Structure 1
Amino acid sequence: MNTQLVIFDLDGTLLNTIADLAASANYALEKLGYPRRSETQCRAFVGNGVTKLLERALPDGAKTPENVARMRAVFQAHYDAHNADATFAYPGMADVLATLAQKGIKLAVASNKYQSATEKLVRLYFPQIEFCAVLGARENVPVKPDPQIVRDILQSAGVAKENVLYVGDSDVDMQTAQNAQVKACAVTWGFRTREQLLPYAPAAWADKATDILNAL
């Protein structure tokens, strides 16, 4: 495989964001008068975007579109102010990105986090890295595992799907890669276990950041 482009998921792949996501979700739950959720519960809720995270966090019987919308407004205001409080880049990730760039491989981010937060966090934690595309959840564009976000990146980068590696940590990511018909590398340090990802039979596995280089 002649890899010309590596697309990275953000949450659970490049950055450990779970503490800040859980803090903002719990802030919103408390503001609406609902019980808090544990960080472990929130870890299972993430992957399909903020709206789905908040719907899952609400208790049974309260998962209405109206409650989700109210929660989202509170969540987003809090998360915008606090999304870098406890978030950190996974060990070695910045060096791997730099190595890939030095090899002439294009880099992109495909996230289900809303666009403004995706852009902010990528700039903040990887300021020296040049990405050809940084895409998050956008209005009127279906979220992953729909393959549209990957197709948009491929078009922007001018790279054929045969020359792409998609790196992610979740079942949503593996499904996205399958739907976009690109090779997948599953990382094991994120928000899902190896056992949860095994059924998707990814082309490569990464137990540490440098394993991504071997997947090429």
Structure 2
Amino acid sequence: MSFHPTAENQPAAQAFILDLDGTLVDTLGDFVAVLERVLAELGLPLVDRAFVEKTVGRGSEHLIRSCLAAVGGAEDLYERAWSLYQEKYRALNGQYSEVYPGVREGLQRLRALGLPMACLTNKPAAFARDLLRVKGLDVYFDHVFGGDDFARKKPDPLPLLKTCEALGSSPALTWMIGDSSNDAQAAHAAGCPVVLVSYGYNHGEPIRSVPAQQYLDRLDQLRLS
């Protein structure tokens, strides 16, 4: 039986890994705007915001395939859709997104501890780095890794284990802060304590049903002891 720490018995942190979409930045507007343009250019019906919110988090490839399936797009449209998605996302990245309340304050507090920090997302790495830079959040991280930096994506534990290696930290002492069951599954499998925010994108499911040591309404509410 696996053991997931609670706030009362959480191990002291040696390093922090933070998710991006739904954890640091509300990027749903970016996804919706990009997908509207991609589907329109392909002559396909649009997907609504609620569908996108439930579908994001497993990587751009999964998002595009899910959208094509939802609107009746042929599978052989995927390569064209992927090319358009990259083009549109590069152009719109950050324009329809906002940093969540409490994130800057929370990151400043974590950075002041002097511990190594990484941002780990399933978003393509170039888009992640550009978004963090545009929003002024890149200064808080020693490393930024995206979904194309490793052979597998979250919820596989590999990205977390590789990120711990880069941070020089033990998984058992590296806190994963995210917004979804994806983050939690990866963290549990990697042996990392997990903290979940309540305001992100958890595929339409209640976040408190996912085991975690803490649940936060704002990042600056993180309890460190």
Q: So what's the TM-score if we normalise by structure 1? A: 0.92
Residues 195 and 41 (structure 1), Cα distance of their counterparts in 2 relative to 1, 3 Å cut: closer
Compute the displacement of 1:130 (Å).
3.4
Separation in 2, partners of 1:81, 1:112: 19
Give deviations 1:47-71, integer Å, cap 9, x for gaps. Answer: 101111111112455351x222211
Separation in 2, partners of 1:139, 1:188: 27
Q: How does 1:44-55 map to 2 (within 5 A)?
A: 44-55=54-65
Q: How does 1:55-70 map to 2 (within 5 A)?
A: 55-60=65-70, 61-62=72-73, 64=75, 66-70=76-80
1:74 aligned to 81, 84, 104, which one? 84
Q: How does 1:20-169 map to 2 (within 5 A)?
A: 20-60=30-70, 61-62=72-73, 64=75, 66-127=76-137, 129-138=139-148, 141-169=151-179
| Unpaired segments ≥5 residues, structure 1 | none
Compute the displacement of 1:192 (Å).
2.4
Compute the displacement of 1:140 (Å).
5.8
| Unpaired segments ≥5 residues, structure 2 | 1-10
SS in 2 for 1:6: strand
Alignment size in residue pairs? 214
RMSD after superposition? 1.8
Q: Is the 8 A contact 2:53 2:204 kept in 1?
A: no
Give identity over the alignment, percent. 26
Higher relative contact order (CA 8 A, sep 6+): 2
Separation in 1, partners of 2:99, 2:154: 22
4+ residue runs over 4 A deviation: none
The aligned amino acid for 1:186 is L
SS in 2 for 1:166: strand
Q: Is the 8 A contact 1:94 1:126 kept in 2?
A: no
Q: So what's the TM-score if we normalise by structure 2? A: 0.89
Separation in 2, partners of 1:104, 1:140: 27
Indicate the structure with greater strand content.
1
SS in 1 for 2:175: strand
Compute the displacement of 1:151 (Å).
1.2
